[in-house]
Amino acid sequence: MTRTVKLLVSLIIILALAGGALMLAIRANGPAVLDAVDRITGGGRGVTLVAKTRYGDHPAQKLRIYAPTDRSQPLPVLLFVHGGSWSWGDPDDYNFIARAFAPEGFIVVLAGYRLAEDGRYPAMLEDTAAAIAEAVRLVPQYGGDPQKLVLAGHSAGAYNVVQTTLEQKWLAQTPAEVRGVIGLSGPYDFYPFDKESSKAAFGSVDAGAQSQPVNHARSGAPPMLLVHGEQDTLVKPRNTRALADRLEEAGSEVETRYYAGFDHNAPLISLASPWRNSRDVDDAIIGFARRVTDVSVPVQAEIP
């Protein structure tokens, strides 16, 4: 083996080890590391944090509003709720979501909610509904159209937005029409509670079947896009299959995307650079959000 070949093999091994270490770091302390990687490899993409506010007195009740450079006309709004087993997470670690979707012609809102003991059922739903209501009130100031609202979330955040939308009492007082809902790796059918996270968030307050999105599937629900990895062992893909079946039976529109080889976090990782350009999760979300809000073309070109 020549010296050049040895150097090339060594470089490949080093890059593979570095890539593996990076993925381990993302999975161990996911969103913050993922956000940093996205910022370094993808840049700011012309996205601006235009509002940093709260919708309540609790420190976790945060709203972060992001906008693209060009917002000469009212833009549809994508509100994203983070995951974390209802026990951890911070919207400030999810700026990569704004950088993924604001350049595609959306005002992006990142919403936090009370966690752990403070966020036990139904507090996480109360907060999600309150965050949506406050976002609807604020976004017109920053170029957003509150009548073109899409909700999205990952894992526990997917539960929050889906349950808040399906159980109609939560948004009954919100003066906005939810045009679509996007759930990534979401738990929608997990009663009786058999994991420590669900026991803590739901079982500890004697929540029952009424807490499950599958039991609130109804006709007239907003269109949904449900994304799940086939190798998700934390929240098994049967959750998405069960909810999709119930929605279809009720006559509501639902689109599903199942990805072979994807684990629980892979759909979320797919929204960050450098993975964003090699997977189609972001394309599926953008296409769905544009369709349900009647936006046929990007408002601004992608910024390198």
pLDDT, tens digit, 9 for 90 and up, residues 24-69: 555 555 899 999 999 999 999 999 999 999 999 999 999 999 999 9
Provide the mean pLDDT of the chain.
91
Asked if 158 and 186 count as a contact pair (C-beta separation under 8 A), the reply is yes
CB 249 within 8 A of CB 218: no
User: Which tokens is 229 given?
Assistant: 């990895």
**Per-residue pLDDT tens digits for 211-232:** 999 999 999 999 999 999 999 9
- When pLDDT is averaged across residues 102-117 and rounded to a whole number, the result is 98
Mean pLDDT calculated for residue range 148-162:
98
The pTM (predicted TM-score) of the whole model is 0.89
Confirm whether 251 is domain-assigned. Answer: yes
Q: Where are the beta strands (DSSP E) in the chain?
A: 47-54, 62-68, 75-81, 107-111, 144-154, 178-184, 224-229, 254-259
Of the candidates 225, 127, 202, 218, which has an alpha carbon nearest to the alpha carbon of residue 167? 218
In a domain, 2, yes or no: no
Does the pLDDT of residue 304 top 50, yes or no?
Answer: no
pLDDT for res 177: 87
Q: Say if 20 falls within a structural domain.
A: no
pLDDT of amino acid 26: 56
Provide CB contacts within 8 A for 241, sequence distance 6+: 256
Q: Quote the domain boundaries for residue 254.
A: 31-292
Assess if residue 303 is contained within a domain. Answer: no
CATH number for the domain spanning 47: value is 3.40.50.1820
User: What is the Cα–Cα distance from 267 to 255, expressed in whole angstroms?
Assistant: 15
pLDDT at 299 over 60: no
Number of domains in the chain: 1
